[in-house]
Amino acid sequence: EAQVTQNPRYLITVTGKKLTVTCSQNMNHEYMSWYRQDPGLGLRQIYYSMNVEVTDKGDVPEGYKVSRKEKRNFPLILESPSPNQTSLYFCASSLGQIPSTDTQYFGPGTRLTVL
Amino acid sequence: AQKITQTQPGMFVQEKEAVTLDCTYDTSDQSYGLFWYKQPSSGEMIFLIYQGSYDEQNATEGRYSLNFQKARKSANLVISASQLGDSAMYFCAMREGRGTGRRALTFGSGTRLQVQP
């Protein structure tokens, strides 16, 4: 089954404790992206990757890191989480062809709480 | 300025009836894509339907259709024969074709649809 998977689905952690949220897709998509969803602010892009070893900042990259060593994986790293990073996080992927037709498929979401 | 506007924070519809969720957008690009996503209470974001700016026909996917009026910059989602499982938050989103490869989707604020038995 074609899908985007994220782990963990739920995480409660404390300020400053490094964590990684994994994202994997099995559709051979070139483009991958991370979004966060917050009440009243909607979905905002954190980082994106056009292909292996090609990553760039989105709208709200502060406090986050990413890497793309393999095509299928795009982990999101919070080196020192803070309470303002409490959010619902989505990984998305797409073929990466014509931008305006490029449908992004989302993972199930990771609900992160930073105490 | 808002690029995607969804003016209906909440909607109710009776089971088996059709419902239209409104979406207007703002762009100066000639090439863009419009997308609708469904977010049930479980939280996942499910792709429903896509409409390209150059598509002359309205997109349809099963019970979903997109009423695309380019001159009015509207891309309303029509759900026919509503089911209880359609109760969810619905987001309209746009990806503009020009510029960088960011391919970030711009989302509207969403419409919460509740289907009543």
CB < 8 Å to B103, chain A? 31, 33, 48, 94, 96, 99, 102, 104
> Do residues B78 and B64 touch, judged by C-beta distance below 8 A?
yes
Mutate to test the interface with A, among B25, B30, B45, B92 (most CBs of A within 10 A): B45
Instruction: Return the closest-CA partner of residue A11 out of A88, A102, A106.
Output: A88
- Residues in a beta bridge with B19: B79
Picking from B95, B102, B110, the nearest residue to A100 by CB comes out as B95
Query: What residues contact residue A26 under an 8 Å CB cut-off, 6+ apart?
Result: A2, A3, A72
Side-chain half-sphere CA neighbours of A92 within 13 A: 29
The C-alpha of B42 sits at a distance from chain A's nearest C-alpha, in angstroms, of 9
pLDDT of residue A68: 97
- pLDDT tens digits, A20-49: 999 999 999 999 999 999 988 889 999 999
Rounded to the nearest angstrom, the gap between the alpha carbon of residue A41 and the centroid of all alpha carbons in its chain is 17
Per-residue pLDDT of chain B (117 residues; tens, 9 = 90+): 669 999 999 999 999 999 999 999 999 888 899 999 999 999 999 999 999 999 989 999 999 999 999 999 999 999 999 999 999 999 999 988 765 566 678 999 999 999 999
Q: Give whole-number Cα distances, A10 to A85, B48, B49, in Å.
A: 14, 25, 28
